[in-house]
């Protein structure tokens, strides 16, 4: 039976509907949903931190520490810490958790881009917190910064921490950015990248675009290339399933999508993981266990983190 890495993105930078009722915000709730997702079949969990008082994305390492230490103590899932952060954070704030907690895996965004969420403002008229509408509106004039100088610094931090990058590619050019570092021997095999599709400013969530991303990756990185796929919003499960057929991994979770099916909100991250596992098994696929994931990605092991 073919196997795949099943990523679960537990809570992200901003979501709609406004502060969705099942989206975890407090550290204990984020950790609890990550643990439940792991027990439901997730190979890795991708975590952001939020201010527990108002849900705002935060780079506060005490909050992140509470989240990851709780997850680490209660299950063996691979923990992937974000370095994408939020629009209100500097690059230094985004990467601060890596040298502190030395995770096995952390996200590493491969290029600067327009990261636009502002169209959501047309759909929502009432907000739970005052900052939400302003935060979304900021994205109309926001550049998600990941310069080559930033990438050099981020990857140096990863190397010193023994943390493997889970590269994030929002468009074809980002793969070529990665190849620059790869060709210089600055990225260790296997090269593991996540295709992020469906964000305004990046590549769209379509099967032809996904195929093109995969083909480009194979051309640039050969047999050492491994990929996962995010389809934002309603594209999450269709693109994740297609990713399996193309030989890749899949990501689901409330960071990317709030809906289990049309008109039915997902009540937890575990619900999305369980649905992805059911779909995968219908086609003969099974998610890797965390330890199998460690082996295939050549991670350092959970005994070498600082959580």
Measured CA to CA, the distance from residue 25 to residue 57 in angstroms comes to 9
Peptide bond into 111 cis (omega under 30): no
Domain count, the chain: 1
Measured CA to CA, the distance from residue 68 to residue 49 in angstroms comes to 10
pLDDT in tens, the chain (307 residues): 899 999 999 997 655 556 688 999 999 999 999 999 999 999 999 999 999 998 899 999 999 999 999 999 999 999 999 999 888 899 999 999 999 999 999 999 999 999 999 998 888 888 888 888 888 899 999 999 999 999 999 999 999 999 999 999 999 999 999 999 999 999 999 999 999 999 999 999 999 999 999 999 999 999 999 999 999 999 999 999 999 999 999 999 999 999 999 999 999 999 999 999 999 999 999 999 999 999 999 999 999 999 9
Half-sphere exposure at residue 109, Cβ-oriented, CA atoms within 13 angstroms: 23
Segments forming the whole domain that contains residue 19: 3-304
Instruction: Look up the CATH number of the domain holding residue 254.
Output: 3.20.20.70
Is residue 286 within 8 A of residue 41, CB to CB? The reply is no
pLDDT for 234? 92
Phi then psi for 201, rounded to 5 degrees? 115, -15
Q: Which residues contact 236 (CB under 8 A, 6 or more apart)?
A: 230, 252, 256, 257, 272
What pTM was computed for the model?
0.96
pLDDT for 88? 84
Measured CA to CA, the distance from residue 162 to residue 211 in angstroms comes to 32
CB atoms within 10 A of CB 30: 28
Residue with tokens 């997702």: 37
């Amino acid at each position: 039976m073919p196997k795949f890495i099943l990523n679960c993105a537990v809570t992200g930078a901003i979501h709609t509907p406004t502060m969705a009722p099942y989206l975890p915000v407090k550290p204990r709730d984020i950790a609890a949903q990550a643990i439940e997702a792991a027990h439901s079949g997730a190979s890795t969990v991708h975590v952001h931190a939020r201010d527990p008082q108002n849900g705002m994305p935060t780079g506060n390492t005490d909050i992140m520490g509470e989240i990851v230490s709780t997850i680490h103590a209660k299950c063996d899932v691979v923990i992937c810490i974000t370095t994408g952060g939020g629009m209100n954070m500097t690059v230094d704030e985004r990467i601060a958790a890596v040298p502190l907690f030395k995770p096995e895996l952390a996200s590493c965004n491969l290029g600067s881009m327009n990261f636009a969420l502002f169209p959501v403002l047309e759909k929502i008229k009432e907000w739970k917190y005052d900052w939400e509408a302003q935060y979304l509106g900021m994205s109309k004039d926001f550049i998600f910064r990941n310069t080559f100088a930033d990438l050099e610094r981020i990857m140096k931090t990863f190397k010193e921490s023994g943390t493997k990058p889970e590269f994030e590619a929002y468009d074809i050019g980002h793969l070529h950015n990665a190849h620059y570092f790869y060709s210089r021997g600055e990225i260790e095999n296997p090269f593991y990248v996540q295709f992020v599709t469906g964000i305004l400013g990046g590549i769209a969530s379509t099967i032809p675009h996904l195929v093109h991303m995969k083909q480009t990756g194979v051309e640039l990185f050969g047999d050492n290339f491994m990929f996962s796929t995010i389809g934002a919003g309603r594209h999450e499960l269709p693109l994740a399933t297609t990713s399996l057929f193309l030989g890749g991994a899949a990501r689901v979770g409330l960071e990317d999508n709030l809906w289990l099916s049309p008109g039915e909100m997902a009540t937890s991250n575990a619900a999305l993981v369980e649905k992805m596992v059911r779909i995968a098994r219908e086609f003969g696929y099974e998610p890797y266990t965390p330890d199998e994931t460690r082996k295939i990605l050549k991670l350092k092991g959970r005994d070498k983190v600082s959580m």
